[in-house]
């Protein structure tokens, strides 16, 4: 049997997670509670998982560390430490929606239209937004207010509202309008420039120089000039051929470029450790 491609595996996991967070609140409404919670804090049959940023906010405001939350955030951060920000590309349901919308905009919008901000580096802007948001939180809020910027949390919360308390939240419009902006900008704006939840994951991955990453072998590459298939495949508009730190900060190890390169020269692959020179 043919081995399924990276992209097939990834889509399968993404759709599975996205469906799971619809089914879990539904089961919860019948009080089946083995799995419960949302993307801010999740209880998976005894195993606690938590959003590192939410835990950071709670810990800073209380000078207190709950062991459950520490374990939860620790698991999430250590996955990012070992495998990079795979949460964004393999798990996050908003990431899935955003990718699908990006694919649609590529198909439906006229080819000439390139989108608004394609070549800009995303991470510095994200750090600025994160810094301002966190400062605002420290000064003006006791509630972990940055949680309200978490798209996966909104995704799961919308279904919690619907099934547990039969309330259709207007937050659907919020998520939908961000997706609409991303559609017309042809750029995954929220994931690249805003999402503050990813910042801690990125910092965790940067601590580890031997993490999983996509490496590029110049000798195998058969594209000499022009826009290559790998660059076209990347939904975050990065170019896998120019290896530099800022690109690696933003890359979420989704593997789309590896799939695109498979038919060409197989110059890209996943590898642990330092990139080859």
Partner 1 sequence: MSSKRFLRPPGARPEREFLARCLQCGQCAQVCPFYCIYMHTGFNPFISGTPQIDPRKAPCHLCMHCSEICPSNALENVPKEKVRMGRAELDRTKCHTWQGFIICRSCFERCPLKGRAIVLEKGIYPAITEKCAGCGVCEHVCPKKAIVTIPTRFVT
Chain residues binding partner 1 by CB under 8 A are: 25, 28, 31, 33, 36-38, 40-43, 48, 50-51, 54-55, 58, 61-62, 64, 66, 68-69, 72, 141-145, 147-148, 153, 157, 160-161, 164-165, 167, 169-170
Rounded to a whole number of angstroms, the minimum distance from the CB of residue 35 to partner 1 is 10
Tokens for 127, please give them: 């750090």
When the beta carbons of 52 and 84 are compared against partner 1, the nearer one is 52
Inter-CA distances, 26 with 19, 30, 57, 226, Å: 11, 7, 29, 49
Q: How far is the CB of 24 from partner 1 (least distance, A)?
A: 9
Whole-number Cα distances in Å, 57 to 62, 66, 77, 141 = 9, 12, 15, 10
In the bound state with partner 1, the residue whose beta carbon lies nearer, of 5 and 66, is 66
Helices (H), the chain: 6-29, 52-62, 67-83, 86, 93-108, 123-140, 151-165, 171-185, 189, 197-206, 229-233, 245-250, 256-262
Characterize the bridge pairing of strands 268-272 and 41-44: unpaired
Spatial contact of 275 and 243, defined as CB atoms under 8 Å apart: yes
Q: 213 - beta bridge partners?
A: 271
Rg value, the chain, Cα: 19
What the block records as the tokens of 182 is 């991303």
* Residue placing its CB nearer to partner 1 in the complex, 101 or 158: 158
CB of 26 to partner 1, least distance (A): 11
Q: Least separation, in Å, of the C-beta of 159 and partner 1?
A: 10
State which residue, 17 or 261, has the beta carbon closest to partner 1: 17
Q: Which is nearer to partner 1, 27 or 82 (CB)?
A: 27
Tell me whether residue 106 or residue 167 sits nearer to partner 1 (CB atom). 167
To partner 1, the closest distance from the beta carbon of 50 in angstroms equals 7
Residue 29 CB, shortest distance to partner 1, in Å, is 8
Specify the residue, 42 or 81, whose C-beta has the smaller distance to partner 1: 42
User: Residue 11, Cβ neighbours under 10 Å: how many?
Assistant: 16
- For the bound state, the minimum distance from the C-beta of residue 131 to partner 1, rounded and expressed in Å, comes to 18
């Amino acid at each position: 049997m043919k081995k399924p491609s990276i992209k097939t595996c990834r889509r399968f996991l993404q759709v599975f997670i996205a469906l799971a967070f619809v089914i879990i609140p539904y089961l919860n409404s019948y009080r089946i509670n083995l799995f419960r919670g949302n993307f801010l804090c999740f209880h998976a049959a005894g195993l606690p998982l938590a959003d590192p940023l939410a835990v950071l906010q709670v810990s800073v405001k209380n000078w207190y560390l709950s062991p459950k939350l520490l374990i939860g955030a620790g698991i999430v951060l250590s996955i990012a430490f070992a495998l990079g920000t795979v949460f964004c590309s393999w798990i996050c349901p908003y990431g899935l929606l955003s990718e699908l919308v990006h694919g649609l905009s590529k198909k439906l919008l006229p080819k000439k239209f390139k989108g608004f901000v394609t070549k800009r580096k995303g991470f510095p802007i994200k750090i600025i937004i994160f810094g301002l948001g966190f400062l605002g939180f420290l000064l003006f809020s006791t509630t972990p207010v940055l949680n309200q910027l978490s798209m996966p949390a909104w995704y799961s919360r919308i279904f919690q509202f619907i099934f547990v308390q039969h309330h259709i939240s207007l937050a659907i419009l919020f998520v939908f309008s961000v997706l609409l902006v991303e559609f017309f900008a042809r750029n995954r704006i929220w994931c690249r420039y805003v999402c503050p939840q990813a910042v801690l994951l990125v910092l965790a991955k940067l601590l580890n120089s031997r993490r999983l990453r996509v490496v590029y072998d110049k000798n195998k590459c058969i594209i000499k000039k022009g826009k290559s298939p790998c660059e076209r495949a990347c939904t975050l508009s990065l170019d896998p051929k120019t290896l530099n730190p800022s690109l690696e900060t933003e890359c979420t190890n989704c593997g789309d470029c590896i799939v695109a390169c498979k038919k060409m020269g197989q110059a890209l692959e996943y590898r642990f450790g330092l990139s080859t020179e």
